[in-house]
Chain A
Amino acid sequence: AQTVTQSQPEMSVQEAETVTLSCTYDTSESDYYLFWYKQPPSRQMILVIRQEAYKQQNATENRFSVNFQKAAKSFSLKISDSQLGDAAMYFCAYRRIILNTNAGKSTFGDGTTLTVKP
């Protein structure tokens, strides 16, 4: 079974600084997707960034980027120029590719609570 581990229950960063959230996963599959989601307090979970395992290039979305190390099964999220609005719980998630579709279930880590200090 796939597992996702986030070893940092809480992280804090000064506004405008950079922070990296860690995630490791375990799978025997070679094809899959990895995601980072943001869940602000009492608000909906939204997708921050995704990575296809077959792509060697690390995904980037504005201030958010990932460091994907497939052999090490590591998928960290870097947030640059942190803003107060980045404060939230961040979840790392894995989704297996089934029969060339992206329809499978997602497996989530237990999250990292990010605090941004002004």
Chain B
Amino acid sequence: DTGVSQDPRHKITKRGQNVTFRCDPISEHNRLYWYRQTLGQGPEFLTYFQNEAQLEKSRLLSDRFSAERPKGSFSTLEIQRTEQGDSAMYLCASLDRFFNEQFFGPGTRLTVL
């Protein structure tokens, strides 16, 4: 399967703990996006990369959030000192620029207790 993969699929953590999620895009896609989706709402943009460069960050991405994409391949999203309001589905997508289609991963569901 050569689709976008995300790990872990589910994460339960206690408030105040740090968590890190990983996204592996489709290998030939140089653009990678992170979105957050809460129950009953559409995905909200967090940040995106072109290769290893982080080109845009949403105001939703507070100082507790950091994302990286070393070497322009996989990406990680870290949340420090988690809060209950961070509970959501975190979606990763990569972009096929030739066919103008974003391919989404299955998401990581975070529950902060």
Contacts and interface: CB of A to CB of B under 8 A. Distances in A.
Interface of A: 4, 6, 33, 37, 43-47, 50, 91, 93, 101-103, 105-111
Nearest to A113: B40
Contact of A103 (B3, B41, B58, B97): B97
Contact of A102 (B35, B91, B100, B104): B100
Contact of B101 (A47, A105, A110, A111): A47
22 contacts: A4-B42, A33-B100, A37-B104, A43-B106, A44-B107, A45-B104, A50-B100, A50-B101, A93-B42, A101-B97, A102-B95, A102-B100, A103-B31, A103-B48, A105-B45, A105-B56, A106-B33, A108-B42, A108-B44, A110-B40, A111-B40, A111-B41
A109 B104 CA distance: 16
A74 B76 CA distance: 36
A101 B95 CA distance: 11
B97 A91 contact: no
B61 to A, nearest CB: 12
A36 B16 CA distance: 37
B104 A44 contact: yes
B25 interface: no
B100 A105 contact: no
Q: Which of A4, A46, A101, A102 has the most CB of B within 10 A?
A: A102
A91 B101 contact: no
B43 interface: yes
A52 B59 CA distance: 28
A50 to B, nearest CB: 7
Interface in B14-71: 31, 33, 35, 40-45, 48, 50, 55-56, 58
